[in-house]
């Protein structure tokens, strides 16, 4: 069965869940607001410019998780998804996912946003397979570290190749849907790269290479 691979942020949802989670914890006073918001915004600008240091960003992102119990974090996350994410889950994204599932394709999300944030969002889209940076848990507490290779830029390729090896899959007939030029390493590998509401850098390459360009926005 061909792989239908989706990026998450600004592709299936009309926001960046990573940055939005940072805004949520600030708005609810779960962090030092001025410091956290400044760093959250700075990292987001670096991401959009293709200059993100993923290790530094993930250390920042995971630091929030170390502050609270698992029970409290799950409560905050549930509220976050209901408040900030559900309203921006795109109807056309649901339809596209369902069309691949109806064809029998293996549907998955691969994202650079941590698994803690993305798992319930991906579940809500009816997708079982998620590749995301995995925050380390010891004794039912987050340590602030990431386990393994972060699925960002070339790391998405590395993580996907590991998953395919473990699951006896290949990229034959594969699709990858993304909005971001940060995903060019994987877009260049799949049989059917699709630019979804692309940023300017991705749009330019998609036009140059005659890739499909679509919009999932209303």
| pLDDT tens string 206-218 | 999 999 999 999 9
Res 202: pLDDT: 98
* 9 counts as catalytic: yes
Percent of the chain exceeding pLDDT 70 equals 100
| pLDDT tens string 155-192 | 999 999 999 999 999 999 999 999 999 999 999 999 99
Name the architecture of domain 3-214: 3-Layer(aba) Sandwich (3.40)
CA distance 49 to 43: 10
Res 34: pLDDT: 94
| pLDDT tens string 76-126 | 999 999 999 999 999 999 999 999 999 999 999 999 999 999 999 999 999
Cβ within 8 Å of residue 21, ≥6 positions away: 61, 64, 80, 84, 113, 117
Res 124: pLDDT: 98
- Computed over every residue of the chain, the mean pLDDT equals 98
* 41 counts as catalytic: no
Catalytic residue among 7, 16, 105, 179: 7
Q: Where are the domains of the chain?
A: 3-214
Res 143: pLDDT: 98
Catalytic residue among 9, 105, 134, 183: 9
Res 137: pLDDT: 98
Res 165: pLDDT: 98
Rounded to an integer, the average pLDDT of 3-19 is: 98
């Amino acid at each position: 069965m061909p792989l239908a691979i989706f990026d998450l942020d600004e592709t299936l949802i009309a926001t960046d869940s990573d940055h939005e989670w940072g805004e949520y914890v600030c708005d609810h006073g779960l962090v030092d607001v001025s410091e956290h918001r400044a760093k959250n915004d700075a990292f987001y600008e670096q991401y959009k410019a293709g200059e993100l240091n993923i290790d530094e960003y993930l250390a920042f992102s995971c630091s929030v998780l170390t502050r609270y119990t698992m029970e409290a974090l799950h409560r905050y996350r549930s509220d976050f998804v209901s408040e900030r994410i559900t309203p921006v889950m795109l109807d056309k994204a649901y339809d596209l996912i369902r069309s691949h599932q109806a064809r029998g394709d293996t549907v998955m999300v691969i994202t650079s946003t941590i698994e803690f944030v993305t798992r319930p969002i991906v579940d809500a889209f009816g997708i079982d397979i998620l590749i995301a940076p995995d925050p380390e848990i010891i004794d039912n507490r987050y340590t602030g570290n990431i386990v393994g290779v972060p699925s960002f830029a070339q790391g998405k390729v590395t993580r996907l190749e590991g998953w395919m090896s473990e699951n006896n899959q290949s990229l034959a007939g594969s699709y990858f849907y993304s909005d971001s030029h940060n995903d060019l390493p994987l877009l260049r590998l799949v049989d059917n790269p699709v630019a979804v509401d692309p940023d300017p850098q991705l749009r330019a390459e998609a036009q140059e290479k005659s890739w499909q360009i679509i919009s999932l926005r209303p």
